[in-house]
Amino acid sequence: MKKRNRNGEIWQFETEGIESESKVVLGLDGGATSTVCACAFHSLTQWNLLLLLSLYYLEPLQGAPSNHNSVGEDAARETLEQVMADALSKCGSNRTAVTAVCFAVSGVVDIFPSHVRLYVQNDAIAALASGTMGKLHGCVLIAGTGTIAYGFTEDGREARAAGAGPILGDWGSGYGIASQALTAIISAHDGRGSQTMLTSNPSWAHIATLVPVVVSCAEAGDEVANKILLDSVQELASSVKAVIQRLGLCGEVGRDSFPLVMVGGVLEANKKWDIGKEVINNISKDYPGVQPIRPKQVTLISLSLSTDVS
């Protein structure tokens, strides 16, 4: 197997005599902001996810972005290899001990030997599974750099809304909020729009801070910033409602309970102006049975979704 260089040999530790009798499975969640890898030991004779979660769960390792549309195929692959190698090295294991890998990310098929089963899933599936203990039923809303609402019924039907990319359908996401804010700044500067605190904040030079800056200005009473966040809430809630309606998750009378898993940095942008809470309030007015879930960890739970190591 050809090894790739990134600050030295990524897999060099495998030649240093590390041997592991315990078999492991890996779970990866990768996107445009970061990549997380978790490693879990398992017995060849018994696969018990709850036992894994309580006894064998290892703190996940976080790496650089691995969305090939954002960083390119080569960089994405190197990031995936790096976080997996780091995770295996940290737990005293190597690729020979890996029996299966679940990727909630686009793009790799040849990092591991042919006997390893690879499961590639949409990141929305992994996110939903993280809040429902692997059961694909309910709805998930992801709002980070991009956004998507995805839903599943117990009989296997599925539907999605938004998630078509920054040009066609990521409004309400971090990109959407930043785009509206930048538009507002230009409009204020040339006189077409209202004056706003957004124009006086130097943090605009740092793209990653755009959403918190908008939130901060909104909390300070800036009407333009506040409207941008309210628009984001409306867009995110509308995406979820569209999925709920198409799948009938709320039941015939609209009051049945169903889980709504919510993940992504936008939904956690600020505790004072809580975008996630506002989205939930908006949805619950029409669908009182919604049960919001904010999982603390996405990756390892996703292993329960489709990783059968028996």
Here the CATH number for the domain that contains residue 71 is 3.30.420.40
pLDDT at 139 over 90: yes
Render 74-90 in DSSP notation, one character per residue: HHHHHHHHHHHHHHHHH
Instruction: Read off the pTM.
Output: 0.68
- Percent of the chain at pLDDT exceeding 70: 69
pLDDT score of 184: 82
pLDDT score of 258: 95
Which residue is associated with the tokens 């969640």? 29
Give the residues across from 262 on adjacent strands. Answer: 141
Do 252 and 203 belong together in one domain? yes
Q: How far is CA 41 from CA 20, 60, 283, in A?
A: 10, 13, 39
Is 132 part of a structural domain of the chain? no
Count the domains in the chain.
2
Is 131 part of a structural domain of the chain? no
pLDDT score of 16: 61
Q: Higher model confidence: residue 61 or residue 13? A: 13
pLDDT score of 289: 95
Do 30 and 79 belong together in one domain? yes
Helix (H) or strand (E) holding 301: helix 299-306
User: CA-CA distance, 130 to 30, in Å (whole number)?
Assistant: 14
Do 83 and 142 belong together in one domain? no
Do 83 and 115 belong together in one domain? yes
Do 276 and 239 belong together in one domain? yes
pLDDT at 256 over 70: yes
Give whichever of 8-22, 152-166, 191-205, 273-287 has the largest mean pLDDT: 273-287
The token pair at 47 is 């696969």
Helical segments of 1-59, H only: 49-51
Do 25 and 161 belong together in one domain? no
pLDDT at 270 over 80: no
Q: Higher model confidence: residue 73 or residue 86? A: 86
Domain that holds residue 149: 138-293
Among 86, 120, 154, which residue terminates a domain? 120
Is 1 part of a structural domain of the chain? no
Do 244 and 195 belong together in one domain? yes
Rounded mean pLDDT, 18-45:
70
pLDDT at 91 over 90: no
pLDDT score of 204: 42
The half-sphere exposure of 167 on its side-chain side, counting CA atoms within 13 A, is 0
Angle at 39 between CA 291 and CA 21, to 5 degrees: 140
pLDDT score of 49: 37
Which of 86-95, 154-163, 276-285 is predicted least confidently? 86-95
pLDDT score of 45: 38
Is 125 part of a structural domain of the chain? no
Rounded mean pLDDT, 105-130:
66
Q: Higher model confidence: residue 38 or residue 58? A: 38
Rounded mean pLDDT, 287-295:
93
**Quick check: helix, strand or coil at residue 98?**
strand
Is 5 part of a structural domain of the chain? no
Do 92 and 156 belong together in one domain? no
Rounded mean pLDDT, 211-220:
88
DSSP state, 226? H
Mean residue pLDDT across the chain: 76
pLDDT at 135 over 50: yes
User: CA-CA distance, 245 to 240, in Å (whole number)?
Assistant: 9
Do 169 and 256 belong together in one domain? yes
pLDDT at 295 over 60: yes
Do 71 and 196 belong together in one domain? no
pLDDT at 15 over 80: no
Is 221 part of a structural domain of the chain? yes
Is 4 part of a structural domain of the chain? no
Q: Is the sign of the CA dihedral 68, 72, 76, 77 positive or negative?
A: positive
pLDDT score of 72: 73
Rounded mean pLDDT, 121-150:
83
Instruction: Give all strands of the β-sheet with 158-161 in edge-to-edge order.
Output: 158-161, 147-152, 138-143, 258-263, 290-293
Q: Higher model confidence: residue 235 or residue 51? A: 235
Rounded mean pLDDT, 120-144:
81
The answer for residues whose C-beta is within 8 angstroms of residue 275's C-beta and 6 or more apart is: 143, 215, 229, 232, 233, 236, 266, 267, 269
Is 42 part of a structural domain of the chain? yes
Do 100 and 183 belong together in one domain? no
Rounded mean pLDDT, 281-308:
74
Number of Cβ within a 10 Å radius of residue 290: 22
Do 150 and 262 belong together in one domain? yes
Which of 205-214, 226-235, 260-269, 278-287 is predicted least confidently? 205-214
Among 51, 85, 120, which residue terminates a domain? 120
Helical axes 174-190 vs 223-247, angle rounded to 10°: 150
CB 112 within 8 A of CB 118: yes
